[in-house]
């Protein structure tokens, strides 16, 4: 029995990839157009060996001691062998010289493109979410030809040049001599048919454009750059193809009072010096309506009051962030004589007529409190 492994120069446990690689190398070296007539017999042996070892079933028979080529009465050479593999050896898997590739004509139908539009939202709308109607120009299936691309009463005609195959064959010269290659038909563009009378309303595209009003549910928690995907709500495809997707990109407008930091909101509340010293309850207007802020007696500038659950709705999970109210203790700058005298009396009672300069410890002064307020701690 012929030693096919020895012919290809591979071990008996060689992988499929190793066998194919060895065959390609030898086929290039021994092909008659390269090595001449003296390499023809050796080329046939290599082709026969690969015919067996390159096929899993035949290789299994051979490993059991049965030569499938002898058993089937196949002659030497390349009978029963994949000629496509020979061509691939020289041309890297391009068009086959042994006939048209089994790909058929191309389809005119194409998926529609994705469409991107922008939607501006206020900070309050980002906090709670909103339903918005937006205007967008989109492609629709043509109402006249219904995506066929043809004028009413007509239909695509089989291409006369390629006879509906979508491809044409050309003769080219190579190491194998003259080979037949295939290429898309230049007349029909590879579709296998031509449109003799295109639809006048869509210019043979099978779709037309018009303005649409689209209702979009914008969830709470969106921010600038967030994209909402509406599947199959974009442009209709060419020749009746499926629609693409519609994307709405959010642009959040800044608010005059509240600042957003992630899921939290921040604002500043001015507190008179006397109220900060004595303590009070102030009412502030929030997105959730009036809310009371408890100012403790002795409150310092930069203190923060945290109102839980009054921040921005979370986009990917339940709940809302918090609202941080930063207290700005205001010192009066214009005093009447009576007011100034009262403050001097207060200073005297507190022993602060001539206060001494005292440095606050690091981490406990106003700057630390301001930092904590900025970082959302309080």
Pick out the residues of the known binding site for Zn(2+): 142, 145, 159, 162, 185, 188, 199, 202
Return all residues near 209 (Cβ < 8 A) that are at least 6 apart: 137, 138, 139, 140
* Tally of residues, the chain: 378
DSSP strands (E only) in the chain: 115-121, 130-141, 157-158, 167-174, 177-184, 193-194, 207-218, 227-230, 246-252, 259-261, 264-272, 280-286, 289-295, 304-307, 323-330
Strand-pair category, 323-330 with 264-272: parallel
Measured distance CA(220)–CA(149) in Å, rounded: 43
- Range list of H helices, the chain: 4-8, 16-30, 32-35, 40-53, 56-63, 68-71, 83-91, 123-128, 273-278, 337-349, 366-374
Query: CA of 304: how far to CAs of 124, 208, 266, 267, in Å?
Result: 22, 58, 10, 10
The secondary structure of 125-137 as a DSSP string is: HHHH-EEEEEEEE
Compute how many other C-beta atoms are within 10 angstroms of the C-beta atom of residue 99. Answer: 12
CA quadruple 38, 39, 45, 47: dihedral sign: negative
Q: Indicate left, alpha or beta for 81 from its phi (over 0: left) and psi (-120 to 50: alpha).
A: beta
Measured distance CA(171)–CA(57) in Å, rounded: 35
CA quadruple 147, 151, 157, 161: dihedral, nearest 10: -100
Measured distance CA(337)–CA(287) in Å, rounded: 42
Compute how many other C-beta atoms are within 10 angstroms of the C-beta atom of residue 167. Answer: 21
């Amino acid at each position: 029995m012929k030693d096919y492994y020895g012919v290809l120069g591979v071990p008996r446990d060689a992988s499929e990839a190793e066998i194919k690689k060895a065959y390609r190398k030898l086929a290039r070296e021994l092909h008659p157009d390269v090595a001449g007539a003296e390499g023809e017999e050796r080329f046939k042996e290599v082709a026969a060996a690969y015919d067996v070892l390159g096929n899993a079933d035949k290789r299994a028979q051979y490993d059991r001691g049965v030569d499938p080529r002898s058993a089937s009465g196949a002659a030497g050479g390349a009978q029963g062998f994949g000629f496509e593999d020979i061509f691939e050896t020289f041309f890297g898997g391009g068009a086959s010289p042994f006939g048209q590739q089994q790909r058929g004509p191309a389809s005119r139908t194409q998926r529609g493109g994705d469409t991107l539009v922008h939607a501006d939202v206020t900070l309050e709308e980002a906090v709670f979410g909103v339903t918005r109607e937006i205007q967008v120009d989109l492609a629709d299936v043509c109402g006249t030809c219904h995506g066929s691309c043809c004028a009413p009463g007509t239909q695509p005609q089989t291409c006369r040049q390629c006879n509906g195959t979508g491809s044409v064959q050309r003769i080219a010269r190579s190491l194998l001599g003259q080979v037949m290659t295939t290429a898309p038909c230049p007349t029909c563009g590879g579709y296998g048919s031509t449109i003799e009378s295109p639809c006048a309303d869509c210019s043979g595209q099978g779709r037309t454009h018009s303005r649409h009003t689209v209702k979009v549910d914008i969830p709470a928690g969106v921010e600038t750059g967030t994209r909402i995907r509406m599947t199959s709500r974009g442009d209709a495809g060419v020749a009746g193809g499926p629609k693409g997707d519609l994307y709405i990109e959010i642009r959040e407008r800044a608010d005059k009072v509240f600042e957003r930091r992630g899921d939290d909101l921040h604002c500043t509340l001015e507190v008179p010096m006397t109220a900060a010293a004595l303590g009070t309850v102030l009412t502030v207007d929030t997105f959730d309506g009036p809310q009371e802020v408890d100012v403790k007696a002795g409150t310092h500038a930069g203190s923060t009051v945290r109102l839980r659950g009054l921040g921005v709705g979370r986009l990917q999970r339940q709940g809302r962030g918090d609202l941080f109210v930063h207290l700005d203790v205001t010192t009066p700058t214009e005093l009447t004589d009576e007011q100034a005298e009262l403050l001097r009396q207060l200073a005297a009672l507190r022993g602060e007529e001539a206060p001494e300069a005292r440095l606050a410890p690091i981490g406990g002064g106003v700057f630390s409190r301001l930092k904590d307020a900025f970082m959302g701690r309080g």
